[in-house]
Amino acid sequence: MRNGAFGKDIGRALYGDGLTELWAAALFLAMAAVWDVGGALVPALAVIAVFGWPVLDRVRRRIVEPRIGHATPADEEPKALGSGMAITTVAVIGGALFVAWWVGDLGLVRVWVAGIAGALVAAGTWYLAGRSNLTRHRILSMASIMWGFAVSVTWGDRGYDSLPIFFVGLAAAFAVTGAVALIAFLRANPRVDA
């Protein structure tokens, strides 16, 4: 179980290095880059999802583990985290589609697509914050939803074409947060050669 001080320390150790945020920033930039290609979005995201975690694990083994060691509890495997985020995302998408059906205006969904995307990212990031117990993940969650609604209000008339603007802004927020966390981590944990 991940409760108590021990669980909080494990979450901080697993996500405290900032690499997860840098991975998410790369994912958001890829989403923005392939958005105009249309159908290529789903295969591109599948490739990033399949190959992203192994690359992240290799970087973590090369940079993080020589500094602090390694311990992964059984419930923190990427499969568990990914399934939790997928369930949260499906629930939020289902909720958004229910609201669109209830309101009866899919044009409204088109205008507010960046806000809906912001809510999806916020839900996933809030889930991650619960697992990591890091305040910066809660801040990124709130920033995601605020940025999504800001893009919807400002560029909502562009409809689905407002999503690349949303993704680039989100990638910048995650990249800055991840870079600051990684720099702080590297300074606090000098490399230990065995």
Domain limits of the chain?
Answer: 9-63+78-188
The answer to whether residue 143 scores a pLDDT higher than 90 is: yes
User: CB burial class (10 A; 0-12, 13-18, 19+) of residue 24?
Assistant: buried
Flag whether pLDDT at 101 surpasses 80.
no
Contact yes or no for 20/175 (Cβ under 8 A): no
Outline where the chain has alpha helix (H): 4-15, 19-34, 41-63, 65-68, 78-103, 106-111, 113-132, 135-155, 163-188
Which of the pair, 53 or 82, is modelled with greater confidence? Answer: 53
pLDDT, averaged across the chain: 75
Q: At what angle do helices 78-103 and 113-132 cross, to 10 degrees?
A: 150
Task: Kindly report the length of the chain.
Answer: 194
